[in-house]
Amino acid sequence: MAEAVELEAGGRTVRLSSPGKVFFPERGYTKLDLARYYQAVAPGILRALRDRPTTLQRYPDGITGEWFYQKRAPKGMPDWIPTAHISFPSGRSADEMCPTEEAAVLWAAQYGTLTFHPWPVRRDDVDHPDELRIDLDPQPGTDYDDAARAAHELRAVLEEFGGLRGWPKTSGGRGIHVFVPIEPRWTFTQVRRAAIAVGREMERRMPEQVTIKWWKEERGERIFIDYNQTARDRTIASAYSVRPRPHAPVSAPLTWDEVGVAHPQDFDITTMPARFAELGDVHAGMDDRSYSLDALLELATKDEHDHGLGDLPYPPEYPKMPGEPSRVQPSRAKKPRPQKSRPTTP
């Protein structure tokens, strides 16, 4: 095993130690293979990460070893990598790294970062998301093809409510993510409310195929629209991120024509570089236009006023929110005691 190699990126040199360490035993892919992959797709992943507070999902000894999420900027991080101060729902805060150049991605790979989890905000305004992120999550009994069918209906919903354009990508697993660039005018709570409105509209259109039910026992064999992925401090793997599975799949940006045609297994750290060399970043135009959430928020208001559909549960680690329903799953909720009938007086 070579002691180290030096990689060039944007005029900087990044030292990669233990380049021969095997990160994916089933395929034999090494730490150097991981770094070379990120070099090959650097403009694409930097487009997805640029100026965003980013949590690192690190596997220092490869996917069979221990792993962890690194939220706070690591000690010893180069001073040319900027940070942003962010607040968590717990009330705590931290400085997270914000990649602004390709060398930052390679630096993270040196420390075993497989997956990058960027916040939907930029470092100059960390309280107002500039992306609405919709996570189509297949439940047991469903698969990627089911998620693809839901994604095409989602595309129609987004177009109908505000002329929104979504940008689809594989999750790297069985799911599909659709990102909508939005104007940074709304809070996390408002963006989450818009995501709930999307989910409820999808339920109305595809009641047997889609659900927004938070409790697993209520979802059935349907695609779950995980509206809580829009809550503060919830992140989704970036485009081009490597996922910790044996064949080293990646989260692949798609065109809408590819949704349901291309499949997640088509994209890994060996196939994506060739695709990128041929097509470039198929989401390169994502930042060219930002959209308004007004129509979706009007839909949310209509759901509340006309149908009595209010807020939905937050994840368990979040503080109780105003207007939020009970977080007790239905099967464990206390049932009201039947009232005893009183004898009538003759």
Per-residue pLDDT tens for 79-128?
Answer: 999 999 999 999 999 999 999 999 999 999 999 999 999 999 999 999 99
Tokens of 323: 């207007």
Taking the CB of residue 122, how many other CB atoms lie within 10 A of it?
19
Which run of H or E residues covers position 43? helix 42-49
- Separation of alpha carbons 170 and 55, rounded Å: 19
Phi-psi group of 8: left, alpha or beta (phi > 0 → left; psi -120 to 50 → alpha; rest → beta): beta
Amino acid sitting at position 147: A
Tens digit of pLDDT for each residue in 284-315?
999 999 999 999 999 999 999 999 999 999 99
Per-residue pLDDT of 210-252, as tens digits, reads 999 999 999 999 999 999 999 999 999 999 999 999 999 999 9
Task: Kindly report, residue by residue over 132-170, the tens digit of the pLDDT.
Answer: 999 999 999 999 999 999 999 999 999 999 999 999 999
**What contacts 95, CB < 8 A, 6 or more positions away?**
72, 73, 83, 84, 85, 86
Inform me whether the pLDDT recorded for 340 exceeds 60.
no
For residues 144 and 81, the answer to whether their CB atoms sit within 8 Å is no
CB atoms within 10 A of CB 85: 11
pLDDT at 20 over 90: yes
What is the rounded CA–CA span in Å between residue 119 and residue 117?
A: 7
Question: Per the structure block, which two tokens stand in for 271?
Answer: 């196939």
Could you tell me which of 84, 77, 122, 71 has the C-alpha nearest to residue 104? 77
Integer Cα distance of 137 and 223 in angstroms: 6
Domains in the chain (CATH in brackets) are: 5-126+240-251 (3.90.920.10), 131-233+289-307 (3.90.920.10)
For residues 248 and 257, give the distance between their C-alpha atoms in angstroms, rounded to a whole number: 24
Query: Which H or E run includes 77?
Result: none
With beta carbons less than 8 A apart as the criterion, state whether 17 and 106 touch.
no
Helix axes 31-40, 272-279, angle to 10 degrees: 10
What Rg value do the Cα atoms of the chain yield, rounded? 22
Place of tokens 């793997």: 237
Which residues share a beta bridge with 177?
135, 169
* Residue whose structure tokens are 């390709």: 102
Annotate 185-230 with three-state secondary structure: CCCHHHHHHHHHHHHHHHHHHCCCCEECCCCHHHHCCCEEECHHHH
Per-residue pLDDT of 63-72, as tens digits, reads 999 999 999 9
pTM score, whole prediction = 0.94
By the 10 Å C-beta count (0-12 exposed, 13-18 middle, 19+ buried), 343 is classed as exposed
50-82 exposure pattern, b = at least 16 Cβ within 10 A, e = fewer: bbbbbbbbbbeebbeeebeebbebeeebeeebb
Query: Which pLDDT does position 346 carry in this prediction?
Result: 44
- Is the separation of the CB atoms in 243 and 237 below 8 Å? yes
